[in-house]
Structure 1
Amino acid sequence: MTDSDPAPAVIQLLPPEAASNPSLVSEITTLVNQVYLEAEGDFFVETHLRKLLRTDPAQVTEYIQLHRVYTATHDGHIIGCIKLQIEDAGDQACSAKVGHLGLFAVSSSQRRSGLGRRLVEVVEKDALLRGCQAMELEILTPKEGGHVFKDFLKVWYSKMGYRVVRTEELADSLPFLVPDIIRPSHLVIYQKHLVEESEKGLVA
């Protein structure tokens, strides 16, 4: 995922009825789980890697029905996907909507092709049109030491305009993962303020 030429892929929003297509749901599920296993497999006790399944067909089906799921396809195969989930801001003093980026995966054959950037940009534009003022995402991150893939993501999202806004303890957010984590980790929350093109023109 770099600024190189975009991947030869067609990005499209899945209609809710696509949730009834089992082969499509299965393909998305497999892609997401493969990507997360590659990215986070070394965080977990080996005998519990089965718990690292990021999602399952039932959850993907629900996402397609209730949220906005995009896929990137090439030659009839899904090579990327991403989800936009919109929620009201948690702060009651703020009524702004926040878009949450999730289910983000790009096939290993398309890494550093620009496809990841294209997918995120599509979601950001969609979120802005739907009244979101910011985008958020979370990354499982070791509390100490580096991690090749996580360090890469930190730089990549930074270039996309995302900044760290807070951290959350796994015991509070995802307690079921705690017993199987090899290295102490937490969730790092990144946020990006969405600015319309007209706003950018007003900046001195």
Structure 2
Amino acid sequence: MKKIITLCISALLLLTTAVNANTNNINQATALIDNAMTKSLNIINDPALTTEVKREQLWPIVTGHFDFTLISELTLGKFSAGATSPLGDYSDRRFTPEQQAKFTDAFTIHLGNLYLDRLNNDSKFSVLLTKSSAMKPIRNMQRARVNSLINKKTAIDYSLRLKDDGWRIYDVKVEGRSLISSFRKEYSALLLKNTPDELLALLNDKNLAHTDNNAE
């Protein structure tokens, strides 16, 4: 009986430690989003800054808090360099590591442009963090979700993973619609008709056109 009691106490202590660690992880994830949002809102809502200056100041925040390597891998899905799913007649559509590295760079710019283009709207932005929770680990990846409400009406949820002792955002859901799922569907359809190099060219052309349009 004494041995059983000792085992029960040990199990309880281990469970308590796990719960505390999990809570701390969630708190850290929430703090990261809160910090990123505070910095972003200070820039976005500053009437003294031009759109160009806002973009320049926001870019390091975006690249510093998002895990674009994982975002790119999940976006490419079965076509990513590390995927093992058979592609059949489309086996030439799987990215090589070199092609995927180029895709990550181009896709990072594309996503950043989409986010920063929202600054063209002069409306004031406000953010309320509503709920944070742990997510089921995938491939031993510690995950968390932080829910927010933009301007008291638009729900935006951030999915994060713990990487190198720091949290990084790898997906964003706006009103329940996943950024990764949306792009994966779009790019999967494109890769049924185009090779990886052709998709890279399309993406680079889009980024170049964006640069040219903003230079006018």
Q: TM-score, normalised by structure 1?
A: 0.32
Bigger CA radius of gyration: 2
Q: TM-score, normalised by structure 2?
A: 0.31
Q: Hey, which of these two has a bigger chunk of helix by percent?
A: 2
